[in-house]
Amino acid sequence: MSKPPPKPAKPGQVKVFRAMFTFDPRTPDELYFEEGDILYISDTSDSNWWKGTCRGRNGLIPSNYVAEQAESIDNPMHEAAKRGNLSWLRECLENKVGINGLDKAGNTALYWGCHGGHKDVVEILLGQSNVELNQQNKLGDTALHAAAWKGYSDIVEMLLNKNARMDIKNNEKKLALEMATNAQCASLIKRKQGGSESFRPEDGSFTQSLISHVHTAMLMSTLTMKTLTDCHLWSGLSHGVWGLQCVGHK
């Protein structure tokens, strides 16, 4: 039983396949490719011949070949990012594979790059003007959540330099800061927030610090009032100076 034909690509959407057999073209317009090659199909408007790219070469591919003798690759950008495969990632970008596509769990390629600690992959993705920094997956996690949780401080810093949002909570109501598994990741986020360890409203230390400051101020005020009560000012006219003459110390 033959496989059902693949769904036509939406306008502007690139479908990706892996060739299962070598195809020998009969005309100059047709695209030659070998078993295992990655095919990027960009135009399926013709029911018989689809436009595609393979190894940087453009040409026509018979649609029935793709339907019967090619394996569809879902989310190739995600796979490249997850594996840290830079050459495949660049190839996907060159062939205009969607950078912000979501897999079944709602993850972007950027999320997987951050989750895997693939700094070079993250750097390339962050260099794309249309990359979505703050996409949440089905668990509510963003790329920043992933990097903080996995403890990749260099990637956390890269995301923060691109102004990734720090106020997004996941489904467990946790911020990326609360997901951080090492002090360096947490410190980077706090520094970006403009705060410090002693001023964190979420853990109550801000309130304790404020109470301590108020208590100190009140104590100093009380001591000052007592001093002014026990002492009086007098003018040292003969020497042109001011002094304090304290009661009980004459």
Q: How confident is the model at residue 249 (pLDDT cuts 50, 70, 90)?
A: very low
4: helix, strand or coil:
coil
What number is the average pLDDT over the span 223-246? 44
What tens digit of pLDDT does each residue of 16-63 get? 999 999 999 999 999 999 999 999 999 999 999 999 999 999 999 999
pLDDT value of residue 164: 98
Residue 1 resides in a domain: no
pLDDT recorded at residue 225 = 53
Measure the CA–CA gap between 189 and 156, rounded to whole angstroms. 8
- pLDDT for 85 beyond 80: yes
- Mean pLDDT, the chain, as a whole number? 82
Q: Please check the confidence at residue 233 and state whether its pLDDT lies above 90.
A: no
| CATH number of the structural domain spanning residue 29 | 2.30.30.40
Per the domain annotation, does 7 fall within a domain?
no
pLDDT in tens, 130-153: 999 999 999 999 999 999 999 999
Answer for the pair 96, 14: CB distance below 8 angstroms, yes or no. Answer: yes
Q: Are strands 57-62 and 49-54 parallel, antiparallel or unpaired?
A: antiparallel
Q: For residue 12, what pLDDT is reported?
A: 54
| 147-166 pLDDT per residue, tens | 999 999 999 999 999 999 99
Q: Is 208 found in the same domain as 189? A: no
- One domain for residues 104 and 188: yes
Q: Looking at residue 195, what is its pLDDT? A: 55
Tokens read off for 243: 């002094």
Which residue range is the domain that position 219 belongs to? 203-246
Q: 35 with 132, same domain?
A: no
Does residue 178 lie within any of the structural domains? yes
CATH number at residue 169: 1.25.40.20
Q: How far is it, in rounded angstroms, from Cα 36 to Cα 20?
A: 6
- The count of structural domains within the chain is 3
The residue-averaged pLDDT of 64-92 equals 93
Instruction: Report the amino acid identity of residue 216.
Output: T
- Helix then strand then coil, % of the chain, to nearest 5: 40, 15, 45
Could you tell me if 22 and 44 lie in one domain? yes
**DSSP, res 9:** P
Q: Angle, to 10 degrees, between the axis of helix 143-150 and the axis of helix 153-161?
A: 150
Mean pLDDT lowest for which of 141-145, 228-232, 246-250? 246-250
CB distance 196 to 188 below 8 Å: no
**Residue 249 has what DSSP assignment?**
-
Single residue among 195, 211, 229 that ends a domain in this structure: 195
**Do residues 105 and 68 both lie within one domain?**
no
What is the DSSP secondary structure assignment for residue 28, as one 8-state letter? T
Confidence (pLDDT) at 68: 84
Residue 50 to residue 40: CA distance in whole angstroms: 10
Q: Which of 124-133, 147-156, 175-184, 197-206 has the lowest mean pLDDT?
A: 197-206
- pLDDT, residue 137, reads 98
Three-state DSSP class for residue 224: helix
Does the reported pTM lie above 0.75?
Answer: no
Q: How buried is 246 (Cβ within 10 angstroms: 0-12 exposed, 13-18 middle, 19+ buried)?
A: exposed
pLDDT at position 223 over 90: no
Instruction: Please indicate, yes or no, whether residues 65 and 90 belong to a single structural domain of this protein.
Output: no
Percentage with pLDDT > 70 across the chain: 73
Cα-based angle 59, 64, 68 (whole degrees, multiple of 5): 115
Average pLDDT over residues 67-74: 88
217: which residues sit within 8 A by CB, 6+ positions away?
Answer: none
Average pLDDT over every residue of 98-104: 95
Under the banding of pLDDT at 50, 70 and 90, the label for residue 69 is confident
Q: What tokens appear for 63 in the block?
A: 């649609």
What residues have CB less than 8 Å from 112, skipping those under 6 apart?
Answer: 78, 81, 82
